[in-house]
Amino acid sequence: MSTKPVRLEWNQSDGAGSGGVKPVLQIKDLHVSYYTDAGRAKALDGVSLDLFPGEKLGLVGESGAGKSTMALAMMRMIKPPGRIEGGQVIVDGVDLVGLSNEDMLKARLSRIAYIPQGAMNSLNPVLRIGAQMMDAIKAHGGKDKAAMKKRCIAALEAVDLRASVFENYAHELSGGMKQRVCIAIGVLLEPKVIVADEPTSALDVVTQRQVIDTIDRVCEQLGAAVILIGHDMGLMAQFVDKVAVFYAGRLAELTGVYQMFTDAKHPYAHALIDSLPNLENKGHFSGIPGVAPALLRLPSGCAFHPRCSQAMEICRTTRPKAQTLGNHIVECHLYSEPTESR
Ligand SMILES: Nc1ncnc2c1ncn2[C@@H]1O[C@H](COP(=O)(O)OP(=O)(O)OP(=O)(O)O)[C@@H](O)[C@H]1O
Ligand code: SF4
Ligand SMILES: [Mg+2]
């Protein structure tokens, strides 16, 4: 498990928290809602976080917490009835939310790449893998066919696939190989940030580990920062540097992976870690009482309060503000002080 120093946010005035290194990704107060017949679901409700070059962030939380919405919002791929209602997604100094559609198309793959949930089913069944890869480069202005092919083969080899896969159709490949192709397409234009949404969920345990190792290696070679979305905290623990725990469209806690596993502050994050089997509890693990709230009927105040064993009166009425607590950013009244909020 990574114990490397955690960088949570960039203090522009002194650079102290980050050693002066600027974040490659800054998400600032991001809001996304889906407007359904039943009402407005705030799938992301004011999420902020920074990611530094080469860092690996794990994004966890129950189903419906807003993890995929976060990935799609970063890519500007939220479709109606959803829309981004506020905030910024700054990659390498450029706010993607403010880009024209045309500029955003260029930014995809070259600044930020996305490996979607169920990515391997996103490959076109009637086009050879090579043609799909070449199309991705062409969309970014590639013209020299030989150079483009060379680049595609290099990307395939970087993810441990044979060059011959260039000529294959998706149905000729195993699940793990298809997932590797999706990773190869993701790194084709050397993006600064790669967002992988549950890249291993449909794979067997051995292949999962291999695919994660591959993402790790190619991102390290590129110096790209990675956001890995997933439910498997065990796998996550071996891969990421820091972890963001989402609850009902909000960031409950963000801290280093080691700190999260040994000293989680937010009661929900704590419960999530406690719910994992480990050597001490010998597989007898406690669940989290209650169920994740429906976004259309979100509890008032802290959305976790009906399930929280430490809930106080204020938790029922007032949403806690995010605050920095040493190496943790945490949204919980237990730690509330009348200090600066984000
Ligand atoms: N197309 C949509 N139309 C309406 N509501 C949506 C749509 N997509 C997502 N939502 C709402 O947004 C919430 C967040 O969904 P999202 O897919 O981001 O969750 P998730 O954390 O990725 O879940 P999972 O772990 O199951 O993948 C859901 O609770 C759902 O109510
Ligand atoms: S704000 Fe209150 S209800 Fe929410 S997690 Fe903290 S203690 Fe529990
Ligand atoms: Mg999802």
Query: How do residues 133-168 score in pLDDT, each as one tens digit?
Result: 999 999 888 889 999 999 999 999 999 999 999 999
82-91 sheet: strands from edge to edge: 39-51, 25-36, 82-91, 94-95
223 located within any domain: yes
How far is 325 from 34, CA to CA, in rounded Å?
Answer: 32
CA dihedral of residues 118, 119, 125, 131 (deg, nearest 10): 180
Regarding the beta carbon of 64 and ligand 1, being less than 6 Å apart is answered yes
Q: How does strand 242-247 pair with strand 250-256? A: antiparallel
Identify the CA nearest to 160 among candidates 217, 100, 96: 217
Per the structure, the count of domains in the chain is: 2
| Per-residue pLDDT tens digits for 234-260 | 888 889 999 999 999 999 999 999 999
Ligand 2, residue 305: give the atom nearest the CA: 3
Residue nearest to atom 7 of ligand 1 (CA): 34
Q: Within this chain, do residues 224 and 247 fall inside the same structural domain, yes or no?
A: yes
133 located within any domain: yes
Q: Among 164, 189, 214, which residue terminates a domain?
A: 189
* Domain housing 216: 16-111+191-294
| Per-residue pLDDT tens digits for 197-221 | 998 887 888 888 888 999 999 999 9
Q: Within this chain, do residues 63 and 203 fall inside the same structural domain, yes or no?
A: yes
From residue 265, give the alpha-carbon distance in Å to each of 77, 116, 211, 255, 277: 33, 30, 31, 9, 19
| Per-residue pLDDT tens digits for 37-84 | 989 999 999 999 999 999 999 999 999 999 999 999 999 999 999 999
CA of 262 to the centre of ligand 2 (A): 19
Q: Among 171, 189, 207, which residue terminates a domain?
A: 189
Q: Within this chain, do residues 40 and 53 fall inside the same structural domain, yes or no?
A: yes
Q: Within this chain, do residues 173 and 206 fall inside the same structural domain, yes or no?
A: no
Q: Are 27 and 244 in contact (CB under 8 A)?
A: no
Ligand 2, residue 315: give the atom nearest the CA: 2
